[in-house]
Chains A and B, each alone.
Chain A
Amino acid sequence: MKPDTSTGHKGLELEEPLLFELDGRDRSGVDLPEPDLSNNRLGGLERTAPIGLPGLSEPEVVRHFVRLSQKNYSIDGNLYPLGSCTMKHNPRINEKIARMPGFADAHPLQPESTVQGALEVLDTLGHWLKTITGMPAVAMSPAAGAHGELCGLMAIRSAHTANGDPRKRVLVPESAHGTNPATATLCGYKVDPVPGNDRGRIDLSAVKAKLGDDVAAIMLTNPNTLGLFEDEVLEVAEAIHSVGGYFYCDGANLNAIVGRVRPGDLGVDAMHINLHKTFSTPHGGGGPGSGPVAFSEALAPFAPLPQVVTKDGKLHLLETKTGEAAQSFGRLRSFHGQMGMFTRALAYMMSHGADGLRQIAEDAVLSANYVLSQLQDDMSVAYPAPCMHEVLFDDTFLEGTGVTTLDFAKAMIDEGYHPMTVYFPLVVHGAMLTEPTESESKASLDNLISTLKYLADKAKSGDATHFTEAPRLAPRRRVDETAAARNPVLRWAPPSSPAQAAE
């Protein structure tokens, strides 16, 4: 909805057209003489019409992108309760370290003798990750969480293949992140879903019933996506190992247990670690992910290349299938991983220390349980307290109000909050997965709590239109998802001709 101003701007929040719509006013920042094409050698292939690149001056370009960036919501602006994403503060010391020229200017093709410091970052970070997980090996190269899952499952597949028994099925709980079944499928396995029990944990008897000698692995998230610790995880590990399968742990929620529980002690064979979640490197549009994978003794020989090893007192990148990497499944990607994230994550670890990391988990869990305790009478908590690092509400409290989870989330935008994760996990009706993280002060949590209380009261008071019309104050009102999906406009067209729906 356009604001009631002559400019279209809403106070100091400036409206901004598309870059292409700013074109056509002859303001290009580069002023070149018209070329003489009378004697060209293009053989009739010379351009006959403009190619449609917008011409703008430098200040126009700067303002365009600054104005767009001002419409962004980020953790630097306010609490960001997106569940399972761990949108915690990105400490500025990480940025300072990452920008040190020795790290920032290093090139992956430099001779090893000139990048010993960068290799030491890889090696030291790997050491921390192995210590935190209690697992003997780590692959640093995976580019993000789902890539880490792929890395873990490829190692599992390699181990089974090396054993002459490739196997067919991977067990995945129904509450899993969608990437888990996708990863197993990509690796050629059939996904066999495992139901949860009425306590929100994986059903151990269902796991046992599905076991067989064709089961390659189980993929379990712990704490799981309902924000609950899998309290029968040891029995699950024992069960999967009893048929020769491997235990893959989705480490997305490591933030809740870092320094408290070592996944290796739980029988985990492979687990990815989202540096961009637990270890505070920027994400959600702010930076690339990074998903190193820790391996058990059984899977370590199959870990991907490259690997950092010590040779003649120097650090060395093992990049071929030789020596201890003879059974490696090979390279997962170009070069060595997300170096910029390694420096940030290691800065985070070293600035907190082991005791600080432990406190992170404790504070994250405390924050979530505080939110739960303050809202349990206003909203409906899906599973009884306590939770781990995230609290899961369902939509029971909205029953009969005419307000859906989606409407509730949109109304949060008007209140200045990015909504929590909604409609995930799928096993909970109208799920609202809320992860405040340890970064927030009590005052900040109280602001979120009072906002959610206010909205819950308003929904119950019968004011459904407050929600169904939300967001009213955002730069754009609610998107018509149905129309957008049924008639997607995939290409910008000049305003003179009406926008065409995709063929």
Chain B
Amino acid sequence: MSDKHYTEDHEWVSMDGDIATVGISNYAQDQLGDVVFVELPDTGASLEKGAEVAVVESVKAASEVYAPVAGDVVEVNDAIGDNPSLVNEDAEGEGWFLKIKVAGAPDLSELMDASAYADEVAD
């Protein structure tokens, strides 16, 4: 999954054309423990970069998920709303959170690539 970029807040983003798919990292789900609830935004919502877009709640904690890029929410993953355990099982695949349509080319330079992120969470 070398096309993914990661934030310091443990979101990942993967670009496909002008559509950014966003989720939380495998490391994040492991730290959170069993995820029991995910609150997702409405489609159509317009997001600033860094805005709070979702809430993920585990048996240990509730955490906000922030938009790694600016744009409009075009799709949310209803499957994790119905079955939050998907986030634990496949955080960086089937457990994605939402898709954002970005205007123009997003600046991902501030984000980490997979190997930099792996170093970041190594300790």
Contact = CB atoms under 8 A, between A and B. Distances in A.
B36 A485 contact: yes
Contacts of B60: 423
A486 interface: yes
Interface in B57-99: 57, 59-60, 84-85
Nearest to B59: A481
B113 interface: no
**Contact size range, A:** under 10
Interface string B34-59: 10110000000000000000000101
Contacts of A48: none
A257 to B, nearest CB: 31
A39 interface: no
Contacts of A322: none
Nearest to A485: B36
Nearest to B33: A482
Main secondary structure of the interface of A (DSSP, over half): helix
A486 B84 CA distance: 8
A486 B88 CA distance: 13
A482 B35 CA distance: 8
Interface in A444-493: 481-482, 485-486
A486 B81 CA distance: 11
Contacts of A485: 34, 36-37, 57, 59
Nearest to A487: B36
Interface in A79-97: none
Contacts of B84: 486
A423 B60 CA distance: 9
A484 to B, nearest CB: 9
B89 to A, nearest CB: 13
Contacts of A482: 34, 36, 59
B94 to A, nearest CB: 17
A485 B59 CA distance: 8
A481 B58 CA distance: 10
A368 to B, nearest CB: 27
A482 B32 CA distance: 12
Contacts of A423: 60
Nearest to A486: B36
A482 B34 CA distance: 6
A325 B37 CA distance: 47
Nearest to A423: B60
A108 to B, nearest CB: 39
A485 B34 CA distance: 10
A205 B87 CA distance: 39
A481 B57 CA distance: 12
Nearest to A488: B36
Contacts of A486: 34, 36-37, 84-85
Nearest to B83: A486
Nearest to B57: A485
A423 B36 CA distance: 18
A486 B37 CA distance: 7
Interface string B17-45: 00000000000000000101100000000
A481 B34 CA distance: 9
Contacts of B34: 481-482, 485-486
B67 to A, nearest CB: 19
Nearest to A481: B59
Contacts of A481: 34, 59
Interface string A408-452: 000000000000000100000000000000000000000000000
Contacts of B85: 486
A355 B34 CA distance: 51
Contacts of B36: 482, 485-486
Nearest to B60: A423
A485 B85 CA distance: 11
Contacts of B37: 485-486
B88 to A, nearest CB: 9
A67 B60 CA distance: 32
A481 B60 CA distance: 10
A160 B57 CA distance: 36
Contacts of B57: 485
Nearest to B37: A485
A140 to B, nearest CB: 34
A423 B61 CA distance: 10
Interface of B: 34, 36-37, 57, 59-60, 84-85
16 contacts: A423-B60, A481-B34, A481-B59, A482-B34, A482-B36, A482-B59, A485-B34, A485-B36, A485-B37, A485-B57, A485-B59, A486-B34, A486-B36, A486-B37, A486-B84, A486-B85
Given A481-B59, A485-B59, A486-B36, 13 more contacts: A423-B60, A481-B34, A482-B34, A482-B36, A482-B59, A485-B34, A485-B36, A485-B37, A485-B57, A486-B34, A486-B37, A486-B84, A486-B85
Interface of A: 423, 481-482, 485-486
Which 6 pairs between the two chains have the least Cβ-Cβ distance? A485-B36, A482-B34, A481-B59, A486-B36, A482-B59, A485-B59
